[in-house]
Structure 1
Amino acid sequence: MSVWPRVREAIGKGDVDVLQEVLDALDDAGRKEVAVELPRHLRTLSAWQPWRDWVTPLWVAGVMTINGAAATASWLCRREFAGAMNDVEPVLRAFARGDAGRRAAVAVRVANRLRRPTDHFAKLALELLRSSGAEPPADHDPLVVAWVSRGADRLRDDPLREALLPRFFEAEGVGRELTHDHRWPVALAALPGGDRAALLDGCVRRLLRGGTANDLRVFARLHAALAPAPHEAAPYARDYLALLPSAPGPVAELAVRQLKALPPLDPADLAEAVQALLFRPEGKLVKSGLTWLEQAVRHGGGSLDALAPALTMAMACESAEPSERAVALVLKHVHRFTGDGLERLREALPLLPPGLGADLAEAIGGEAVPGELDELEPVPLPAVEPARPFVFDPLEPGQLVTWRRYLPRWEQVERWLAELVRHASCGDLPTQAIHPPAIEGGWTGLDHWTDAILAGLCHGDWRPARLPTAVEVAPIDLLLLRRFHDVHEAARAGTLVPYLLATPTHDDGRLDPGVLSDRLEGYDRLGVRPMPADLEQALLRAGPSAIPPQGPVHGDGPRREWWPAYLPWHRETVAEHALATVRLSHWQDSDLDVAFGAALARAGGPGGPATARVMAGFVARATFRPVLDLAARGELHGRELGRGLAGVCLGLGLTEASAALRLEDLARRGAPHEAWQAAVGLLEALTEAGRSPTKVVELALRAARWTGARGEVPLVAAIAARKGNNTFLRTTRHLHQFLTWCTDGS
């Protein structure tokens, strides 16, 4: 006699206690019958009862009748259960009736299936981990975010605390989840004293990693709740200094408070701190830096030469208040500066308004004439390193397994793929057990593909390949994944090539066309057809071609620092792709790091507006090495760089004075001609936007003198001809006079 009608009736009534009694009375055959009927009944209920008050009874029925941890976890995580109110307590009681080992195995599998902290089974995963004592999966960010999103009320006695708390500072998304939360900082600060040092260390490390104000707000609150004493904060003094230039305003304010509470900083550190604060866009932080500088001057003994750079920076500020306060300090304490300090202070004379400049020049010497700066000390640009041959040591079969999930550089990816094809063509395969990926959606990670290929080649465990869409990954990354896809499909069909076409011959990603021709001739002799993506990549590496950029992606983060190696002849195309994948709200934000900038500078092909915008972002953040590398190759277009820097000023909050200072720094680091051209481009773009950037014109005048620039600049001539007598017009006329005054010795 069928037992299913009684079980179905109990599910329909929603009485979990009655349901458990019915299920307890079943024998093995009855449980098997119920397990078979449950999925069909779920489809019926999904279609006819959308309010889903049947989720908890179905969960309980599945737990008590479905055999195997994997099948049980799959049942609990079915997407048909999403969006419903569910009660996990009956499910936990059902698990408690069975084997503890099965419960722990299900707990880990359910936790591993979490992709978002809002998944319908997130609460169940956490409670199963707690009740089973199972070890939570390592490095699982959605699980950590789900844990924190449930509140901190149970933190002190939470069995998951020991495993998940260390990930509180590392997991992506914790800061955004707790942006408006005030309970977690209080609960964490109230933990026993043994955790205090670890919490402070984790908090400072997380602040140093950076992020938006929303991402870091909860960590700033935690730091405030910990209220570290001076002896606790002292080891982090250098870290607090590092937060001052670019951390969000509240984090920078926290760092200032901590540094001021410590014993007095040495002059060099104090100068670094003040200069960082003077570059901030927030008036409150600028004033804080000035007050700090005034206190150091008043209370410090002896020479003030070490503070001269900070005072010079204050006098060079665009707003009047910092300049006036800094000049007043120097005039009051001028007797405490020696020759070196006075010389550094004189650098500010051309940047000051006429009245302040005259007062300062009378006290320290020099001339308060706009544009009169010391001579530029020649500095060589970085040496251009030619591309070297791309060679690598062969891998043993077992190393294909060992290294399959550790491929942090594009060179290691190329080595692994080439060696895999070589070993596969020889039938020399590893023997270790490899499991194919078990994920939903496209395979966006390289480890998905390496596991799938090895599992198929070594054990015949082929799974249908899941190539992601162009929405999930950037186009250049998709080309790389298509190469893995082609290898997977060719190996599965038994038609894998004996070697790859696209393996580069140089360490910048280029492929010698002659070598490619030889490889293709080898294919012809063997009767082998090229794999489409491998051939496409080979042609991109051997000569000009292009992949059109697209908008932002929503899957794994783009591997931008690899892109120049995949398009080594198309610097501008790579820059366009990079800009299409970032969305910036402030000049201090960027996903484009130094490694990407260095690789972009090394790439071939002409630059253009996109390359200039990328390099302008590095200039704005005072990260000059990629820009200097490009200048050393003679391929930095100064005018475009200036227009890109203007975009940072107009759209991302960089002040015009800061932009001028960055270009001056670029000139002093070995690129004065590029800085002059950039100043002209910056002036053009800012005046087109209706600005009157006096500091930029002053920088242009200095750069013109350093480089000996001559010849009329139409924009400068047009501005100089305007009526009026403000500082901007006077300085522009001075620049025009210098550019057009071509007598001997001028």
Structure 2
Amino acid sequence: MSELLTAVHEGRLDDIPALLAPLGKAERRAVLDELKELRKESRTWPWGERTRTRKAILIAGAGCHGGAAGCATWIGAREMRDWVHSPYPRLLGVLADRDPAWLADLARRLSARSIESDAEFRLVAELVRMAGCPLPVSDGLVRGWSERVNQTRWGHRRSRPLVDVLRDEPHLAELVPHLLEMPEVPTQVTWTNTQDPTDDWPTSLAVLTREGLLDRDPLVDRCVTRLLRGGKPSDLRFCLRLLQGLEPTAEEESARITDWMAMASDGTSAVAGHALSVLARLDAEGGVSVRQWAEVSGPVLFRSEKKLVRAQLVLLGKVLRRAPEAADALLPLVAEVFGHPDIAVQEQALKLVARHLSATAPAVREEVSDLAAQLGPVHQPAARAVFGETRDGGPPVDAYEETLPSAPVARRLGPAVSGAAELVEEYVSLVRTRAGEVTAFERVLDGLIRCAHDDRKGLTDALPTALAGQWWADPAIQLSQEEIDRRFSRNHDGLQVVVAAFLGRVSATAIDEGRSRWTATGSCCHAALEGVLYARLWEAAAAIRKGDLPFLLATPTWHTGSLDPAELVERLTVYRDRGLAPGPADFGQALLRVRRTGEGRAADAAAALGTREGDRLDAWIRADEPVAPVLRRPVEVEPRSERGWLQRSVVSTRRLLLATKERLVIQQEFPRTFHWLGRPHSPRQQRCYHWGDRSPQWIATLPEDADTLAAWLLPSLTDVEEQRGMAWPLPDLAESEGPSGHAVHLALAYGLGARFAEDRLSAVDALLVMAARGRLDAELLSGQLGDLIGRELVKPARLADSARTAASTGACRTVLSVLVPVLPALLGREKAPRGLSDLLAVAAECVERSGPPKAGPIPGLAATAARGGSTQLVRQAARLEAACGEGQDATP
């Protein structure tokens, strides 16, 4: 036993089987207890030493377990997978003498656990071979197998065709059916080889099915079931391509007609399109009844995808030509399309109704005639010709009322934390949920300082219950003081460094080094803003050890991060009366947060304090200048060709950005941590390592300087073309107290033309909030949108989607005030940009609902409408022209 434990500790893997073989059950249990202790101890070892020892622990522990359940838990533990080269061949040698039933049980239990690699799959497969039992198929096993296939496919200098790799797999027939039943198909399976589109999983599996290596009927059933169930687009794309490759017969498709109807109603666009094509084939052979067409048409015609609605109208046209008696059942469904937002779809539905209206009963004709009131003004003359009545296209123009969201009101933070118990409860909630709310963070940070001053013993007694699971406080993790200091200095861990400092777990030397380390020497605004936060935390860590500060100065008054100057004066008065010196970072952050406009009385009170901090506050309020003034002239930045893998320039493609001026007072009177904020900055000079980082603390650092912050964040915001979610700051910037100038409007312009829908939605929220607060400069925003569209940095179709979303909330006049000035330059181009018809459609819809724009006729609109032809551009231009003309005639 002693020799075995020594061999394990030294990582001598080859000696373990021979030393383990002569041990009995009792001896193996005793060794296992020692191995468990050694396993805990190894958690703090360096990676290289820990890895080899853990391999030995893994092998010896598996051999010492008498039960398959315990052995599976031992082998499958996450920390026992910390290796590069697999130890499983030696592990199998240790288990080779076990009973086949025991090995089969172990294989089943391992398969039920998470399998993340080819090596783990091979372990289970080898156990199955040794036991002579069926393969225990599971989600994890299929993931490991797909990884194995992927490594085999690309593991050589010349990749092998996927179909050849799969043909050689011994468990192919057992694993592939389960692949279609998994909640999520492995990414290795859904990935497409762009160099050879036929060298992918759907094509390869279809080939192997035709060769007889896979049973075709279960695959067809599972594909249809998976398409009905739904899931990720990539998973459904895989199943759809496999189903098409399996080429179901007409009999198989006819037997599943209700499945195709369900897919057409509720499936994704690609799935619904395929289902409609199947239904069209079945209908050509008389396999779809009128009742079934009526059942499926309602949901399909209600879908938002214009392509599917048009396809369904075409199919219904064929059905009505073949069976005119179906008009009573189908035309009311077609007439529901009269309310579709696209006028081309409305026109298609109107023509279909007009063609078959004569075959309907009077009651149906009246129902369809009533629905024609939903048609837009451009189709009302045709509707009158069809139905013989005057149709009202909607409420009169003078009845329109602009609807904007309520202007957000700044919410005051709650009262200071009253006691240690309440503070610990809020601290636990904040740490465990990792919430990013500024209000929660600031309350807890201020509460720690207050409790350390007022109730030090109570806080000391209450905190241990809040430290469960925190690495620096877990007694099971024996860390040296040097290691704790090193980890905190590398990553302060938010509020934990303040709590650890209070409990004496961080040394005074580490705190001094931490305060001097975070000096915002980075080259981007993210590093500078993070540096301000880090400096405040380390400063609070130093203050909480002494416990002499009654509270912090920078705790905001409102949820936006802004600070009431009168409240700051009161706090400075307490500091003066008690002879306390404010923390430099704390007071610097307080100045950045204090409201500056219209606060002359607060400035007088600050000057009356007779302290240096009072004089600085007085001068800061009276100056009423932004932290860094923004230059109004945009800077066109070209992408840099020489970039490291980690380091990137502030932009990766050509962008219009803004520079900021120097503010000497920041560099002269604030701590060095803040100096970056006061230097002049051009987007050409910046480098950044913050890939997609975001923090509400950045907004709360400069709550009164939205325009400055927007100018600094623009390089990240302009990544909306490449990264999802980059427009997240826009709603916060719109709610910020600072003026919304050129930078905020330019950021908003980029967001309205963002690639991803969630980013465009964030921009629409910001647009509506700015309009509700009276801070939207429509002329400025229009000019910036025109510049961005002219440089192809914003696509008109994406801008149209944002405008349509904003208009749907009832902000038609706001949308028009932004769109109308953009249109003349686009209409005047020799070649109309793609998406211009969408912009014209949104503008026309807004005019039809709210009346014509006040600016009068739109230059270039009449010429575009007079081109002739049936293109969407010409038709939407004519629609907008007609709407403007009708509105002008109706205006008193």
Structure 1-normalised TM-score?
Answer: 0.62
1:380 is aligned to 403
Q: Find the counterpart in structure 2 of residue 568 from structure 1.
A: 703
Shift in alpha-carbon separation, 1:540–1:344, aligned structure 2, 3 A = farther
Distance in 2 of aligned mates of 1:503 and 1:269: 59
Deviation by residue 1:693-716 (Cα, 9 ceiling, x = unmatched)? 355446546645734534457xx4
Find the partner of 1:405 among 420, 425, 432: 432
CA pair 105-531 structure 1, distance change in 2 beyond 3 A? farther
Maintained 8 Å contact 1:436/1:452: no
CA distance in 1, matches of 2:342, 2:527: 48
1:274 Cα shift?
Answer: 3.6
Q: Which amino acid aligns with 1:377?
A: Y
CA deviations on 1:623-645 (whole Å, 9 max, x unpaired) are: 85554333222233445655777
Structure 2 equivalent of residue 449 of structure 1: 494
One of 488, 503, 523 as aligned partner of 1:458:
503
One-letter amino acid matched to 1:310: V
For 1:582 and 1:173, locate their aligned partners in 2 and report how far apart those are by CA, in whole Å: 33
Query: How far does residue 419 in structure 1 lie from its aligned partner after superposition?
Result: 1.8
| 1:691 and 2:832 matched | yes
Partner amino acid, structure 2, of 1:363: V
Note the alpha carbon deviations across 1:404-449, whole angstroms, 9 max, x for none.
2124351222222222222233422313345336999988999933
CA-to-aligned-CA distance 1:239-270 (integer Å, 9 cap, x gap) = 997875xxxx6467589899999999999996
Q: Is the 2:785–2:822 Cα contact (8 Å) retained in structure 1?
A: yes
Describe the shift of the 1:401–1:519 C-alpha distance in structure 2 as closer, same or farther (beyond 3 A).
same
Cα distance 1:122–1:343, how it changes in 2: closer, same or farther (>3 A)? Answer: farther
Q: Contact between 1:315 and 1:326, CA under 8 Å: does it hold in 2?
A: no
Partner of 2:664: none
Distance 2:746 2:442 in 1: 31
Change over 3 Å in CA distance of 1:709–1:479 after alignment to 2: same
Q: Pick from 846, 853, 856: which aligns with 1:709?
A: 853
- Alignment partner of 1:513 is 2:654: no
CA contact (8 A) 2:332 2:367 kept: yes
Change in 2 beyond 3 A, CA 1:734/1:635: same
Aligned to 1:608, which of 745, 754, 772?
745
Give the structure 1 partner of residue 39 of structure 2. Answer: 69
One-letter amino acid matched to 2:191: T
Give the aligned partner of residue 814 of structure 2. 674
Q: Which runs of 5+ in 2 are unaligned?
A: 23-33, 93-104, 126-133, 145-179, 193-199, 207-213, 283-287, 478-482, 597-625, 629-676
Indicate the RMSD between aligned Cα atoms, in angstroms.
Answer: 6.9
Secondary structure at the counterpart of residue 449 of structure 1:
coil
Q: 1:652 to 1:717 in 2, by over 3 A?
A: closer
State the one-letter code of the partner of 1:421. I
Letter in 2 for 1:610: A
Mapped to 2, the partners of 1:600 and 1:442 lie a distance apart of 34
The structure 1 residue matched to 2:340, chosen from 313, 318, 342, is: 313
- How far did residue 512 of structure 1 move? 1.0
| Change beyond 3 A, Cα 1:710–1:518 | same
2:458 matches 1:396: no
**Range with greater deviation from structure 2 (410-419 or 428-437):** 428-437
**What CA distance in whole angstroms lies between the structure 2 residues aligned with 1:455 and 1:214?**
46
Length, aligned pairs only: 647
The 10-residue stretch of structure 1 (102-111 or 513-522) with the greater mean CA deviation from structure 2: 102-111
Q: Which of 514, 526, 532 matches 2:585?
A: 532
**Conservation of the 8 A alpha-carbon contact between 2:560 and 2:736:** yes
Matches for 1:181-196 after TM superposition, within 5 Å: 182=201
Are 2:14 and 1:17 aligned? Answer: yes
- Is the alpha carbon distance of 1:278 and 1:470 closer, same or farther for their aligned partners in structure 2, counting shifts above 3 Å? farther
The match for 2:448 is 420
Q: Which residue of 2 aligns with 1:60?
A: none
Deviation string for 1:46-91 (max 9, x for gaps)? xxxxxxxxxxxxxxxxxx999732453566843998xxxx999887
SS in 2 for 1:421: helix
Q: 1:596 to 1:310 in 2, by over 3 A?
A: farther
Q: Which runs of 5+ in 1 are unaligned?
A: 26-63, 114-118, 208-212
Alignment of 1:160-199 (within 5 A): 161=140, 175=187, 179-180=191-192, 182=201
**Match of 2:557, as an amino acid?**
T
Identity of aligned residues (%): 17
The equivalent residue for 2:59 is: 93
The alpha-carbon deviation at position 610 of structure 1 amounts to 0.7
Deviation, structure 1 residue 391: 1.0
- Name the counterpart of 1:591: 725
1:120 equivalent in structure 2:
84
Contact 2:778 2:818 in 1 (8 A): yes
TM-score normalised by L of structure 2: 0.53
Residue by residue over 1:25-64, the C-alpha shift from the partner in whole angstroms, topping out at 9 and shown as x without a partner, is 9xxxxxxxxxxxxxxxxxxxxxxxxxxxxxxxxxxxxxx9
Matched position secondary structure for 1:382 = coil
| Aligned residue runs from structure 1 range 429-508, under 5 A | 429=460, 430-432=463-465, 433-434=467-468, 435-436=470-471, 448-458=493-503, 460=505, 474-475=526-527, 478=530, 481-482=533-534, 485-487=537-539, 489-490=541-542, 494=546, 497-508=549-560
Structure 2 CA distance for partners of 1:487 and 1:325, relative to 1, 3 Å = same
Greater Cα shift, 461-470 or 255-264 = 255-264
- Pairing 1:331-410 to 2, within 5 Å after superposition: 331-334=354-357, 342=369, 345=372, 348=375, 360-364=383-387, 375=397, 377-392=400-415, 394=418, 396-399=422-425, 400-401=427-428, 403-410=430-437
User: Aligned AA for 2:580?
Assistant: G
Q: Secondary structure at the match of 1:68?
A: helix
Q: What is the CA–CA distance in structure 1 between the aligned matches of 2:412 and 2:818, rounded to whole Å?
A: 35
Q: Which amino acid aligns with 1:157?
A: P
Query: How far apart, in 1, do the equivalents of 2:489 and 2:309 lie?
Result: 45
**Secondary structure of 2:431's match?**
coil
Question: What is the letter of the counterpart of residue 403 of structure 2?
Answer: P
The answer (yes or no) to whether the contact 2:71–2:106 under 8 Å persists in 1 is no
1:545 equivalenced with 2:524 (yes/no): no
Q: Larger Rg: 1 or 2?
A: 2
C-alpha contact (below 8 Å) 2:412/2:557 kept by paired residues: yes
Q: Hey, what's the Cα distance between the residues in 1 that align with 2:529 and 2:235?
A: 27
C-alpha distance in 1, partners of 2:387/2:448?
71
Change (3 A) 1:721 1:256: closer
Partner of 2:79: 110
Structure 1 stretch 510-519 or stretch 617-626: which is displaced more? 617-626
Shift of 1:23: 11
Where 1:528 maps in the other structure, the secondary structure is: coil
